[in-house]
Amino acid sequence: MNSRPSSPFDANPSMAPERIITVELTDRSYTVLVGAGLLQRSDLWTRGIRAHQVLIVTSAPIAQHYLNPMLKTLERFSPEVIVIPDGEQHKTLQTLELIFDKLMQLRFDRSATLIALGGGVICDMTGFAAACYRRGIAVIHAPTTLLAQVDAAIGGKTGVNHHLGKNMIGAFYQPSMVVIDTDTLSTLPVRQLQAGLAEIIKYGLLADEPFFNWIENNLSEILGLRSQAVQKAVLTSCQIKARIVAEDETEQGIRALLNLGHTFAHAIETLTNYQSWLHGEAVGTGLVMAAHLSMLLGYISTHDYERIANLIHKAGLPTRPGLDIDPKSMLDAMKQDKKIIDGTLRLIVIERIGQAKVSSDVPLVLLETTLNTFCQTYA
């Protein structure tokens, strides 16, 4: 990004119990609410539900903790529930059809509202179902993982995976509201919390150097779920994403920067069949690889590359694809990326910490150097 507003961390504002961010999209603008205990605030939910046809979409691990509290909060709407399989490997058209089956069986009409209660997979699939059912019904996101709170729930990217590529089937479809209850992070496994940190670090790298510096200095506070640190991390990430989405909703320009590290990450996920890596773990490795490539291009110094790699490592995230992925397979998978235009692979590179750009002319020899550095080469 060539211009950056001052970071919220420059002023170090005090955190209110509930913060409101608006994603400015003219007649489709919506609010993102950030705070503690919001899943129990029935007054907030009344604002976003238009009629009494409500379907909560969730998964078993999330339902165990939050389904009954949500049913109580929404009892005036008598919501229906569908529990779909958990995990990235189930983010498929076959699972999506389960949601459509439920909606058809209930005879829900166009006034219906879907509520995505869960992580990124739930948000992506529920949003896509809302975009398709009767050519569009309302959807509210209630993200319960750190990664979903700062990424998947905001911006309207919806979709499912294909065995040849991640998120290759989907649509841009904005929610009517996003409710981020940071208390839900208390039941999040440590691995999931670490995975969410990858996306938070990404925002600092591409748009906000003071935020990146703050993450370095407060990493243990975030991992320790200190309320003020967590809310600052989530709030600032959401502010950055909301600003970029408002400027470029359908990724024709600046929004592509949000894919920093993701071309590498999606290739890793595809090559491992979405089985062994969490999305945020792959993004963490992708950020390190993008930083290495940016160093080879002469944009960032060795010192800054090491800062980035060390932060990813300290966050508990992997920094290499592993021994099962070779450079050629990695490059082939990257060539299936959605960001390819007219056969040209576009990569997001870091010009400096706090600023990134889209590059369509990365020399193949440098990309191969990065792949050979990080991936196992077979004899």
Catalytic positions are: 135, 157, 199, 241, 251, 255, 259, 262, 266, 279
Beta-bridge partners for 183:
none
The radius of gyration of the chain's CA atoms, rounded to the nearest angstrom, is 20
Helix orientation angle between 302-314 and 190-207, rounded to the nearest 10 degrees: 160
d(CA 48, CA 324) in angstroms, rounded, equals 46
Instruction: Give which of 45, 62, 63, 66 is closest to 54, Cα–Cα.
Output: 45
CB burial of 58-70 (b: ≥16 within 10 Å; e: otherwise) equals bbebbbeebbeeb
Q: Which residue has the tokens 């440590």?
A: 190
Beta strands in 243-314 (DSSP E): none
d(CA 345, CA 366) in angstroms, rounded, equals 14
Q: Which residue has the tokens 């925002």?
A: 203
Q: Which residue has the tokens 């935020």?
A: 211
Beta strands in 119-164 (DSSP E): 138-143, 157-162
3-class DSSP state for residue 71? helix
Beta strands in 24-132 (DSSP E): 30-35, 54-59, 80-84, 113-118
